[in-house]
Chains A and B, each alone.
Chain A
Amino acid sequence: MAEQVINPDLNFVKDIIASGGESLKKCYQCSTCTVVCNVTPDSKPFPRKEMMYAQWGMKDKLINNPDVWLCHQCSDCTAQCPRGAKPGEVLGAVRKMTIEEYATPGFLAKMVGDSKYLLLLFALPILIFGAYALIQGHTSLGSIPRGSNGEIVYALFMPVFPYIDLTFGTVAFLAAVSFFFGIRKYWSAMGGGMSMDGNIVNSVTETVSEILSHRRFQKCNVTKERSTSHLLVFYAFAGLAITTTWAIVYLYGFHRESPYPQYDPMKILGNVSALALLLGITLVANNRLKNAEKAGKGSYFDWLFISVIYGIVITGLLSEILRLAGVAVLAYPVYFVHLVFIFFLFAYAPFSKMAHMVYRTTAMVFARHTQREG
C-alpha cells in the first residue's frame, strides 16, 4: 500500500467540537452508523469515514465532501450508535463549517456561527432602520403619517421606495453574489479530478425533483416526521417568495400601493404561507425537542436559524393584526422588529443555516453528476 501522510488539523477538530460535534471523540469506528443509514450510497458509505476524518482533523476530506450534504440528519445513526458519538450531530457541525469555509466574506460567517456576535449582527439592521425612521422625522407616534381614514399604513412609516426596496434589493443582491462565489469555490473544490461528462441539466432536474418531493428525507426512521415539517417550511417559503414577487408586480407594474385588501388573492397567498410557516417551524422545533434524547439537541447554528424564522413569522402576523386593529403604539414597533428579522435572514443567508439550501442542492447535483448517486 502506498504511503500516505496525514497532516491533522487540530484546530479543525476543536472547531467541530465547538460547533455541536462535542461527542466526536467517543466514536470507536464500529460502522453501525453506515449500516443503519438509509440515505447513504452503499459504496464508500457515510458517516463512519467522516467520523474518522473528523477525529483525525482531515479537513480537506470533509470540506470538499458532497457526502456531508447527502446526509439529512435522520439521526438513525445517532440513535443506534453504541457509544453516544452522535454522528448526525458531527456531520451537522461539519456542514456548518463547510458554509463557513466557502462563504465570502469569511469573517461574517465566523460571526454568524458564534453566539458572542449575535447582538452586533442585530445592531446593524436596527441602526439602519432606526436611521430611516429618524430621517423621516418619526420621533413620536403622532409624527407618523396615517392613511386617509386615519388607518395605519406601514408604507407611510417606512416607504417601500426607496427605504424597503433599495435596502432589501441591495441586501439580496449582495447575498446572491456571495452565494455565487461560495458555490463556485465549493464546486471546484469537490470536483478535483472527478470525471464529469454527464448531462448537467439532467442532474439538476433530478435533484430539483427530489427536493420538491422530499423523497430522500422520507427514508429516515427515527425522525420520520421531519420530512413533513421541513416540507411545510419549504413550501411556505416558496409561497412567501411568490407573494413578494407578486407585490412587486402590483407596485411597479400596476402602481397599486399597499396595504392590499384581505380578499386580494396575493394577500390570501401571503397569509396562508405565513400560517404554514408558523405551523411548519413549530413542528420543526417540536421534533427537535422530542427527539433530543435519541437524535441530539442541535447546535446554536440550528437554533439561531429556527429562532429567526420564528421571529419573522410571528412579527409578520402580529404586524398585520395590530395594523388592522389600529393599535399604533404596538403596530409600529412590531413592524420595525419584523424588518430587522427579515434583514437578518437575507443579509446573513450565505453564512447562516439558510445557506444549506444552496450548498445541499449543489452537493446533491454534484453527487448525481459524478455518479456518486444514481
Chain B
Amino acid sequence: MSEQTSKQASRVLVIGGGFSGLTTAVDAAETGAEVIVIEKNPYLGGRVSQLNKYFPKLCPPICGLEINFRRVKTNPLITLYPMSEVESISGGPGDYNVTVKVNPRYVNENCVACNACAEACPAERPNAYNFGMDTTKAAYLPFNQAFPQRYVIDSAHCKGDCGKACREACKYNAIDLGMKPETKSFKVDSVVVATGWNPYDANKLDILGFGKVKNVITNMMMERLASPTGPTGGKIVRPSDGKPVNSIAFVQCAGSRDENHLAFCSYICCMASLKQTTYIREQNPESKVRIFYIDLRTPGKYEKFYAKIKEDANVAFTKGKVANIVQAEGSDDVLVEAEDMLTGDKVKVKFDMVVLATGMEPAGASQRISGVDYSTDGFALSNPGVFSTGCSKNPMDVAKSGQDATGAVMKAIQTGQRR
C-alpha cells in the first residue's frame, strides 16, 4: 500500500479536446494523473458541440459537454491548451518529449465575453462552426456556450486597423494584439491521440452535385440548420431561398464504403439520418422524407429507433444508392436518381432539399502527427505508450467514444505507473 502511494502521478498528454479527449482527460485526472490537453480549436467539445441532438435519446449534447467542462474547470490536474497543435512526439513509453505550437488568440484571460469587441469589429469571417452557412465578426465567440468562454480574433480576417477597433472597444484590457505563436515542450509518460474526424469533403463526390447543385447539403450542415444556435435559429429551411422544406431526401453512404473515397463504413450515418428525419418531421408535420440506402445499419439497440421511424407513413425507404443529383429545370429543387432495387426500375425524384450522409474521415487522413503511426486510411494506430481513441481510431458514435476513451485512460496511466 505504501509502495503504491509513493509512486509519482502518471503524466498524460491528450491530443484533442473533443468528446473522446475530454473523457480521457477527466477520467485520467480523477484517478490522480496529471493531464495536458492540446486542442486545435479555440474551444473544447469538437464535433459533438456542433450536434443538435444525440441519438437515440434525442437530448441536446451540450448538456453532457457542460458536465465535462465543469469537471475540467474544477480539476487542478488538467491543463488546457486551446488553439494548439502537436508538432512532434519523441522518446518512448514513460519518457516522451512532446513539442506543441500554441497559436495566438489575441484575447487574454481578462475577457468576460461581453461582446463589445465583436460589436466594434469592422471585419467579418465565414463561420466554420456553421460550415460557412453564415458569418461572424472577426472578433467572435465560437458559439454561445463555448468553453473556454473567451473571444478570439481571427487574424486572417482582421487586417490593418481592424484589431485596433476591437482593442479600443474592450473595457477590460483583454485584447493583446502583440501575441505571438509560442512553442512549448512537455515531458510525459504517455500520449492519447483523440484527434477525431472531419466530415468527408462532399465536393469530391462529383456525381452527387454538392457545391454545384443548390440545396444539396451535408448531414453535419443539417445539424447546424436544426440547431437553435445555428444560422437559422433552428428552422430547417433550404439555403438557396429560405423556403420551408416539405420534401427531403437522405443519400446514405455518400463517400463511405467506397474505395474511391472512404473505403470503410462510417458507422454513424444511418442513425444520423434517422435522427435527422425526426428533426424535419417534428418541425413540419406535412413533410415527406425519403431515405436512399444500400443497407441500413442500426446495430444493437438502435434497431428499435429504426423501427420507430419506419412506423411514420411520411418516411419512405428506397433500397438503391443515389448516383446522380442535378438541379431540377427552372427551379431550386433537386432531382435525385437511383435504382429502386425492390421494383428494379430507375427512379428520378424531385425534392426541396437533399442531405448527403457524408462519412467520417479520420483527422489523420489530412494531418499526421510526427511520432504517431497511421493506417493507410489515416486512422491512428496504438503503440505501447501512444494510444489512439475515439474516431481517430475507428468510426464510432458518442457513447462508444466515451467507453473507448475510458479504456485508453487505463492504458495511459498504466504506462506511467510502469516507468
Which residues does A use to contact B, with CB under 8 Å? 28-32, 34-36, 40, 42-45, 48-49, 80, 82-84
Is A31 a contact of B259 with CB atoms below 8 Å? no
Q: How far is the CB of B228 from chain A (nearest CB, A)?
A: 36
Is A32 a contact of B341 with CB atoms below 8 Å? no
Is A31 a contact of B345 with CB atoms below 8 Å? no
A-B contact pairs, 27 of them (CB 8 A): A28-B257, A29-B341, A30-B253, A30-B257, A31-B320, A31-B338, A31-B341, A32-B321, A32-B323, A35-B320, A35-B322, A35-B324, A35-B337, A35-B338, A36-B323, A42-B345, A44-B344, A45-B339, A45-B345, A48-B339, A48-B341, A80-B207, A80-B260, A80-B323, A82-B261, A83-B258, A84-B259
- Bound CA–CA A90/B346 (angstroms): 21
Given A44-B344, A45-B345, A82-B259: A36 and B294 interface contact (C-beta under 8 Å): no
Given A29-B294, A30-B294, A36-B323: A42 and B260 interface contact (C-beta under 8 Å): no
Chain B residues whose C-beta falls within 8 Å of the C-beta of A29 in the assembled complex: 294, 341
- Bound CA–CA A224/B338 (angstroms): 23
Chain B interface mostly: loop
**Contact residues, B173-194 vs A (CB, 8 A):** none
Residue of chain A at shortest CB distance from B252: A30
Residue of chain B at shortest CB distance from A48: B339
For chain B, give the interface size range: 20 to 34
Chain B residues whose C-beta falls within 8 Å of the C-beta of A31 in the assembled complex: 320-321, 323, 338-339, 341
Is B346 a contact of A35 with CB atoms below 8 Å? yes
Q: Mark B190-223, 1 if CB is under 8 A from A, else 0.
A: 0000000000000000010000000000000000
Extra contacts, 18 of them, besides A30-B257, A31-B341, A44-B345 (Cβ < 8 A), are A28-B257, A29-B294, A29-B341, A31-B338, A31-B339, A32-B323, A34-B346, A35-B338, A42-B345, A42-B346, A43-B344, A45-B344, A48-B341, A82-B257, A82-B259, A82-B321, A83-B259, A84-B259
- Bound CA–CA A107/B278 (angstroms): 62
- Bound CA–CA A318/B189 (angstroms): 77
Is A45 a contact of B346 with CB atoms below 8 Å? yes
- Bound CA–CA A29/B344 (angstroms): 12
Q: How far is the CB of B294 from chain A (nearest CB, A)?
A: 4
Chain A residues whose C-beta falls within 8 Å of the C-beta of B339 in the assembled complex: 31, 34-35, 45, 48
Chain B residues whose C-beta falls within 8 Å of the C-beta of A49 in the assembled complex: 344
Which residues does B use to contact A, with CB under 8 Å? 207, 253, 257-261, 294, 320-324, 337-339, 341, 344-346
Q: How far is the CB of A323 from chain B (nearest CB, A)?
A: 53
Chain A interface mostly: loop
Residue of chain A at shortest CB distance from B324: A35
- Bound CA–CA A314/B291 (angstroms): 57
- Bound CA–CA A129/B163 (angstroms): 92
Residue of chain A at shortest CB distance from B293: A30
Chain A residues whose C-beta falls within 8 Å of the C-beta of B321 in the assembled complex: 30-32, 35, 82
- Bound CA–CA A320/B337 (angstroms): 55
Given A28-B294, A80-B323: A36 and B344 interface contact (C-beta under 8 Å): no
- Bound CA–CA A29/B320 (angstroms): 8
Q: How far is the CB of B207 from chain A (nearest CB, A)?
A: 7
Residue of chain B at shortest CB distance from A33: B323
Q: How far is the CB of B312 from chain A (nearest CB, A)?
A: 25
- Bound CA–CA A43/B339 (angstroms): 9
- Bound CA–CA A34/B340 (angstroms): 10
Chain B residues whose C-beta falls within 8 Å of the C-beta of A42 in the assembled complex: 345-346
- Bound CA–CA A29/B253 (angstroms): 13
Residue of chain B at shortest CB distance from A43: B345
Q: How far is the CB of A33 from chain B (nearest CB, A)?
A: 8
Q: How far is the CB of A267 from chain B (nearest CB, A)?
A: 51
- Give 7 closest A-B pairs by Cβ, nearest first: A82-B258, A35-B323, A31-B339, A30-B321, A42-B346, A32-B323, A30-B294
- Bound CA–CA A272/B405 (angstroms): 74
Chain A residues whose C-beta falls within 8 Å of the C-beta of B257 in the assembled complex: 28, 30, 82
- Bound CA–CA A213/B8 (angstroms): 83
Q: How far is the CB of A291 from chain B (nearest CB, A)?
A: 15
- Bound CA–CA A31/B322 (angstroms): 8
Is A82 a contact of B260 with CB atoms below 8 Å? yes
Q: How far is the CB of A188 from chain B (nearest CB, A)?
A: 25
Is B324 a contact of A36 with CB atoms below 8 Å? yes
Q: How far is the CB of A117 from chain B (nearest CB, A)?
A: 36
- Bound CA–CA A80/B205 (angstroms): 10
- Bound CA–CA A29/B257 (angstroms): 12
Chain B residues whose C-beta falls within 8 Å of the C-beta of A34 in the assembled complex: 339, 346
- Bound CA–CA A213/B344 (angstroms): 30
Chain B residues whose C-beta falls within 8 Å of the C-beta of A83 in the assembled complex: 258-259
- Bound CA–CA A36/B337 (angstroms): 9
Chain A residues whose C-beta falls within 8 Å of the C-beta of B207 in the assembled complex: 36, 80
Chain A residues whose C-beta falls within 8 Å of the C-beta of B346 in the assembled complex: 34-35, 40, 42-43, 45
- Bound CA–CA A32/B344 (angstroms): 13
Q: How far is the CB of B43 from chain A (nearest CB, A)?
A: 35
Among B253, B259, B321, B338, find the residue whose CB has the most chain A CB atoms closer than 10 A: B321
Chain A residues whose C-beta falls within 8 Å of the C-beta of B323 in the assembled complex: 31-32, 35-36, 80
- Bound CA–CA A29/B339 (angstroms): 11
Among A32, A36, A49, find the residue whose CB has the most chain B CB atoms closer than 10 A: A32
Chain B residues whose C-beta falls within 8 Å of the C-beta of A43 in the assembled complex: 344-346
Residue of chain A at shortest CB distance from B322: A35
Chain A residues whose C-beta falls within 8 Å of the C-beta of B344 in the assembled complex: 43-45, 49
Chain B residues whose C-beta falls within 8 Å of the C-beta of A36 in the assembled complex: 207, 323-324
Residue of chain A at shortest CB distance from B321: A30
Chain B residues whose C-beta falls within 8 Å of the C-beta of A84 in the assembled complex: 259
